[in-house]
Structure 1
Amino acid sequence: MTSIFTIENSHALWLILLLPLLWWLSSNTKTTLGRKHLRLLTTFRAVSLLAVILGLAQPIIRYGNQDISVIYALDVSRSVAADFIDKSLKWIDEVEERHNPAHSRIIIFGQNRTVVSSTEEAKSITIADFGKDALSSDSSHVEQSGTNLEAAIDESLALLGADHVKRIVLFSDGNQTDGSLLDLVQSAQSSGVRIYPMVADSAQVEDAWISNVRLPERVRAMEPMTSLVSVFSPSAASVEISISADGGLITKQSYVVKQGFNDLQINIRLPEAGSVPLDVLMTVENDPYLENNRAQISAWVEDKAKILYLEGVSNASSYLNEALSEAGFEVTVNDRIPKYDDLKLYDAVVLSDVLANTISSNSMKDIKRYVQDYGGGLIFAGGENTFGDDGYSNSILEDLLPADFEAQEKR
């Protein structure tokens, strides 16, 4: 069992310089107090101020096993400057010599990764840009054509020693081309693993790439939605973004992007439900590397939203039916309200100028329960059949809707 004393906020200790000022003010202040009382009062004030300063400084004594396990994850992908890699290896040597952690490893990574025990061993690793399709199973070769940060951090977590204070030092420019890092980092932090990022200098390459692709949390088949494609461009340029779903092109749009990172909003519809593979491709002129111009993700697509549609005007249902269908809804036209259990098969009910006497009291109760308890949607379109004594005035549906169906008398 060991103990370590640390001060979390060392800047607060500068306030100790106020203590001599406090004594100087005391000795130069005119007062009726006796010298003994004044000295006692000043001492009390000094102790109080010192207690406040120590509280701000946050001194902490930590007990327990303080053996440290550290993993150095070094990004050697194409976007990282070569001299940064050399500086990182020298820094690792200095830290190892100064602190001598109980356990340490170095992960050299790009598109793939390898684990070594020392910087000397790291320098013997072959780093090459053969392209993603030429990845070798030989652990002495690290592919520069991509950056899989998620896999590197995942392996770092697995390599950390048990019953140690766990630390990961990440050397990278953050330009990930594969994997998703955010959830993994949050999981590591919740497990008590601290990750220290060392931001890499970017290599001076006029390269554009797709940084990220995001979709709404909930996606339905044929429902219009906006996807967000984040791209980096080394200069102002025109780019073309195409998105394919399960091998079929669904959209192709052109954009003018500025230098740096750009968030492009792209409106799309996914035609089928289920797990749909999406392929996002960026085309830009004179781009030296094409491998990072493509992103592949998988989207879970729910079935179309189902609408139950009742129309009170004869032969008028086709107009709204067509409009809803074109908007991506699955529409069922009916002339009556089904039972409550069947109502729950629909996402919303549309009542358009339906006569009140065609909906029974029990059906109205089912609709009210469907909306208030189940959370279903209700769209009510009024008309000549809905107002007055023969309409929905004083009905169960009137209580449910933000409308008053009582006809106003002419004055």
Structure 2
Amino acid sequence: MTELFRFAQPLALAVALPLLAVLIWRVWRLPRVFGRRHRAIQVVMITAGLCVTLALAGLELGHRLDRLAVVFVLDRSRSVDEGRLGPTSGDAARSAVTAIRDAVPTMEPGDQAGLVIFGANATTELLPSPEPPIGTPRASVPRDASDLGAGIRRALADLPAEHTGRVVVISDGVENRGDALAAATLAAGRGVVVDVLPIEREPRPEVAVESVRLPRTARPGEPVELRVVTRATVATRARVRVMRGGAPIAEAEVDLRPGSDVLVLRDEAPDSGVHRYDVLVDPLDEGVDSGRDNNEGGAFLRVLGGSRVLVAGDAPEENEALVRAIREGGLEVATADARTFPTDLGELATYDLVVLADLQARGLTEEQMLALSSYVRDLGGGLLMAGARRSFGLGGWAYTPVEEALPARFDLRQRRDRLSLAMIVAIDKSGSMTIEAVPGRTKLDLANEAAARSAMLLSPADRVGVMHVDTAVTWTQPMVSVTDPNAIAARCRAAQPGGGGIDVDVAMPAAYAELRAERTQLKHFLLFADGDDSQGLSGMREVVAASVRDRITTSIVSMGAGPYT
């Protein structure tokens, strides 16, 4: 809020002011039957009338915001690899980081800057702070798609309320997921300016599917029209294939004109349910297309029938009453847990509502979360989250695609009534942690990222330390109050592997000794170790038992399923 005050209902003020004037006139003319108390009664009644008037008008007090918070939103999708930023040439991402780094010193005292990166989804690289450690992004996002809207929404969520907000988007503007215009409209509604620093792409021959459009709903057997919007830089001939539910239903050769073109195809609506249509456009001429990554598109058709609900939870027996109540309402209900939760958007689209009934975030994969977020954002599917500690505990859903789909945040750093926490994270940096755990990321990468995200969830009242361990302890981050979570996260992500194995009997005693010296209300030790190769386990049960007596809790995460898991 930049005004000293404002009225949420100004029309109510216009109506109430004349009534207040009448009240003042009537009160002032009260007969003086109360003696010396007459004036006090007049003041009290007029003051009460004024308070009621201001309440009806929705008076909101504020303070002027002369401090600026800027969140840079950096495009990391593959489409920017061949682009350039301004007059520079070469790596656009590197040029963008340089531009951001050069902009930070120009900020006024009290201003803050942060960084969000996005591809198929968005994640926070750096929370806004006065001196963010701008460098090559270490957080990762899927690069096979571009959701600019998710990047803007993530930036809006990161902006501190006590600053005037601004978002700077650095992108080529090529979007094949989400709705950037809707996100920009949301920003405008909050008074946040969105600026754009464009990444320019060299002109090249291209054939692309820009959109596939279908009616929202149809009746079984009803004719439906499929409109495919294509874009081509030159006239060419192409083969168009259409699939419904993965099965081919039509194929034809068509002539594409330069610029945008619209192909109209027809089908008959199948049985009730949600059906996915996929369209693939293959140019038949050589040299008219630079790649096939944007030659296909899809859309969903809902054929009207009974409504379906998916109830997903970790404890099916606890959800029986909920499932029974929904069925008694005449709805069809399916159940799932984290293992059987859909990973495909098409499967999710067969449901009108998804209920997460005390489902833990850690049970869902990134792919499942992205599908659920797209189901809500792009298809307008319903999402109800109900639960307790398993789902609403600190951290689980924070900074995930599912959080973006909800009207609430799971970041509790602003809470003033939380108990203070001291936490030490120990990470196995032995040679075996360099084994690839998921495509493109090693076990150490995942552990470092987990430590970084843990630090981002803490508040300035908390303290954290991070050690990397093989046969000796290396303090990546000595114990410190979490006043700059960005710097702590950057140190975690930058840690490199060591050698040999991990001596658990070195890491645990060192961590517990450090925690015993802390004066916080809660103390926790978190260990990430390779499940295939650990040493020095003898006597550790007794060490952990002793820490319990000191009110220190312990969590151990096995990186990989091995003999030490």
Q: TM-score, normalised by structure 1?
A: 0.48
- Structure whose alpha-carbon radius of gyration is higher: 1
The higher-RCO structure (CA 8 Å, 6+ apart) is 1
